[in-house]
Amino acid sequence: MSFITILKQADIFYELTNTQLELVASICTEKRYQESELVFEENSPGTELYIIADGEIEIQVNPATLGKKDQGSGAFTIATLRRGQSFGEVTLVDEGLRSASARSSKPETHLLAIPRAKLMLLCDTYPQLGYKLMRNLAADLAMKIRHTDLQVREVLTWAPSTPQA
């Protein structure tokens, strides 16, 4: 499958022209992961955005990073992403540390990696491409925030109440 075909499946590249998709495809690299292999770790610096070409990625947070040692061991999966979905996009916005870990949950997971620096250069050089990409990115992040908000509300609604002292 060509890079352009994969990019066309991703919501963050919605309404980009074939020429614009070719420009983005020219800066992509392929990465392959086996089941349970870590793509990136929570609180690590981020320099790439990823598009899932095939396979599945689990986005995970580790309660221990928040000082919650009584939450059991290991990471908690907050989202499972599949073909055409993107992740790691927050680094495009703020260049901060990763807010979660990403781990392959299927054998032969195939990703396209897009380096932040090169993508930002494309956006600066081609403002129309940059506008469309940032509009789509904002919509994608808003959807993910709404999903997380629903998860938090569910936990707060159904969590057992603790007796007041």
pLDDT tens digits, one per residue of 37-86: 999 999 999 999 999 999 999 999 988 776 666 555 578 898 999 999 99
Task: Give the start-to-end residue ranges of the domains of the chain.
Answer: 3-153
**Strand ranges (DSSP E) for 2-157?**
29-33, 38-40, 48-54, 56-61, 76-82, 86-87, 101-104, 109-115
User: Does the pLDDT at position 133 exceed 60?
Assistant: yes
**CATH architecture of the domain formed by 3-153:** Sandwich (2.60)
Rounded CA-CA distance 89/29 in Å is 16
**Over the chain, what is the mean pLDDT?**
89
pLDDT tens-digit readout, 106-129: 999 999 999 999 999 999 999 999
Measure Cα distances from 87 to 51, 66, 91, 132 in Å: 7, 22, 10, 18
